Structure 1
Amino acid sequence: MLNRLKFFFEKHGFHVSSRLADALGMRASSVRLFFIYLSFVTAGLWFAVYLILAFWMRLKDLIRAKRSSVFDI
């Protein structure tokens, strides 16, 4: 039963990319590779945004640090 379910998802999942490749006039493997690269780029993009925001918050805390006396400057 598990093999039938796996075969069903593989058959219909690959059929989507092959129909899209036929419509665009490309190879199906190129379309699949494009989707794999696109998923890595989008995941990496949000990680980069997270790092930029963390750096910005740290920089803001360093600039606005409260000093207890005049000699801390």
Structure 2
Amino acid sequence: MIQRILTFFERYSFGVCTYLGERFNISIAKIRLFFIYTSFLSVGFPLIFYFFAGIVLDFRNYIKRLRSRVTDL
């Protein structure tokens, strides 16, 4: 049951923790824990950053897909 919940969130999340972990060569689990703990301490401010970063990453992926379609022509 727990594994199903984890796979659901990993599949449908924005991928911000994965991107930051690969970018800075840090464990993804540590970044997730950082977001969780700081959310409790600062009343949700990191969640605002997380959603903003997710939107930016989705926009970047959208631009990359458009560029690849143009170059395929």
Question: TM-score, normalization: structure 1?
Answer: 0.43
Question: TM-score, normalization: structure 2?
Answer: 0.43
- Structure number with bigger Rg: 1
Which is bigger in relative contact order (C-alpha 8 A, separation at least 6)?
2
